[in-house]
Amino acid sequence: MLFGPASDPASLEFLRPIRELICQEGYAVVNDTDSEHRQEVCYSVGLTDKGLPELIAGMEDFTEFPQGSPGMLHHLARMLLARGGSYGEGDIFEFHGQWVRLVPETLYKAQCDVNLGLYGPKFSLLQVAPCSPNPTERKKVQPVCLN
């Protein structure tokens, strides 16, 4: 599937329910992990059809959010689509007390098998990263002291 879009019968059958969900909801969220199970992520599928970047988040990044990272991605995708789908790199959003920043992501693009199966490499990916409540200000930090 890495060089999609997928065309073999098994892949098409695997993608069929996801395509149906995209038709119903406008997008889907997929949970995935790398082959060694070192990194678990969730990502959006279907936003590419609207000319928008797909979104990805680490499962450990939003454990405090209701239903974790998948719940946060669902909520964020709905909110962004309701606002007309205008978002991009560096944008900052707040919902339910959680601040997030959209940052470029390329490392996990090869892990997004469903997007690769649907679009091949022709999709862009933004990571949803947690950020501070006032993301325009840097937090004051103590200098590192080297002995």
pLDDT at 145 exceeding the cut of 90: no
pTM: 0.82
Residue 66: pLDDT band with limits 50, 70, 90: confident
Contact 73, 29 (CB under 8 A): yes
**If you write DSSP's letter for every residue of 71-100 in order, what string do you get?**
HHHHHHHHHHHHTTS---TT-EEEETTEEE
Q: Is the dihedral of CA 13, 43, 95, 92 positive or negative?
A: negative
Min mean pLDDT across 41-45, 127-131, 132-136 is at 132-136
